[in-house]
Amino acid sequence: MIQLLQTLNGRLTEIREVENGCWINIVDPDDKDTAWLEEHCPPVVEYLTDSLDLDELSRVEKESDYLLVVLRIPHFRGMEYDIPFITLPLLIMQTGSMTITLCKEENAIVQEFVRERVRGFTTNKKDTFLLQILHKTASKFLIHLRNINKIVEKLEDELENSLKNKEIVGLLQYEKALIYYTTALQTNGTMLERLRRLRHFTYEEDDDMLEDVQIENQQALQMTTISIRIMGQMMEAFSSVINNNMNNVMKTLTFVTICLAIPTLFASLYGMNIELPYDDTETAFWGLLGLSGAMISIVFLLFRRMRWF
């Protein structure tokens, strides 16, 4: 899918032809889209394969006629997936007349610009547009990290009384997501530092904004690193909690088994076809029942003294 967009009279408008200052938004291009790009945007064609590779790392390249930025962005796929939070490569190319964005999937960051939810956004200011995408990416990482922490806290509450591995597996899934985020933030940080050294931006305000993006990216990286450490320690702790809960269940079952064995023993003895004491008295049944109850009480008190319960 290819969208041609341009800011006209303060509003983002979809246009039909490539014009100076326009934005070309590309999502998962097919053969027809590729043919169109070869005709209208030849520089981006050679990067199509790399940009659509989900494992592509962040980087920046500057040539005489274009600036290329590949950025790892956070992406929420949905709770039905094994790993709900992943990262995707987003290609941003600046030429003399346009800005091009290319991504394998629809994503929330680009959609915020398409829906005009970014203050001060205009396609005519290419450098500001690039910096706004970088800033939105760092901010979105922080938002996703807060959401992950809330989900993990909910799993913690479920784990306290759990005997299953479901919650542990859930924590493992979010630990994987955090590892993906850590890798993406590290490569993004390297890319941002290289972009700063290129001295691409003309205005001091743009340099200041790039510095703000680097700070937010570093903050997100530190937050992710801390979350991974906490989650790793938490998984070890809750593995011990699950084992302890299982031990408590085994203790309860052992106590119930011993209690049932006592009346079973008397029933077995008096079920034999031989003469036994008091087997011809009317109170034998109630006496044996009372004796069984007394012995069960003694076993219970003994276990309480041993702090089994």
Beta bridge partners of 98: 22
Statement to judge: residues 207 and 228 lie in one domain: yes
Based on the number of CB atoms within 10 Å of its own CB, is 17 exposed (0-12), middle (13-18) or buried (19 or more)? exposed
What is the residue range of 272's domain?
245-305
- Distance of alpha carbon 225 from alpha carbon 72, whole angstroms: 17
- Distance of alpha carbon 189 from alpha carbon 214, whole angstroms: 7
In angstroms, what is the C-alpha Rg of the chain?
33
- Distance of alpha carbon 278 from alpha carbon 269, whole angstroms: 12
Q: From 218, 244, 270, give the residue that closes a domain.
A: 244
Statement to judge: residues 177 and 282 lie in one domain: no
Statement to judge: residues 133 and 46 lie in one domain: yes
**Tokens describing residue 20:** 């100076």
Q: From 244, 269, 296, give the residue that closes a domain.
A: 244
Statement to judge: residues 21 and 155 lie in one domain: yes
Number of domains making up the chain: 2
Statement to judge: residues 265 and 193 lie in one domain: no
Domain of 268, CATH number, reads 1.20.58
What is the rounded end-to-end Cα distance, in angstroms, of the chain?
Answer: 65
How far CA 221 is from CA of 194, 199, 225, in Å, comes to 18, 24, 6
Statement to judge: residues 15 and 138 lie in one domain: yes
Based on the number of CB atoms within 10 Å of its own CB, is 57 exposed (0-12), middle (13-18) or buried (19 or more)? middle
Domain of 137, CATH number, reads 3.30.460.20
Q: Could you tell me how many helices (H) and strands (E) the chain has, helices first?
A: 8, 7
Statement to judge: residues 121 and 173 lie in one domain: yes
Statement to judge: residues 129 and 251 lie in one domain: no
> At CA 140, angle to CA 196 and CA 127, rounded to 5?
35
Residue with tokens 């956004």: 121
Statement to judge: residues 104 and 192 lie in one domain: yes
Residue with tokens 């945007």: 41
Q: From 244, 263, 293, give the residue that closes a domain.
A: 244
Residue-level pLDDT at 165 = 62
Statement to judge: residues 157 and 237 lie in one domain: yes
Statement to judge: residues 123 and 221 lie in one domain: yes
Residue-level pLDDT at 293 = 84
Nearest residue to 79 (alpha-carbon basis) of 185, 170, 149, 153: 170
Statement to judge: residues 49 and 192 lie in one domain: yes
Mean pLDDT by 10 residues, the chain (309 residues): 89 88 90 87 83 88 89 90 90 90 92 89 90 94 91 76 64 86 94 89 86 93 89 75 78 84 80 71 76 83 75
E strands, 9-106, are 11-14, 22-27, 59-62, 66-76, 85-95, 98-103
**Tokens describing residue 194:** 């290289």
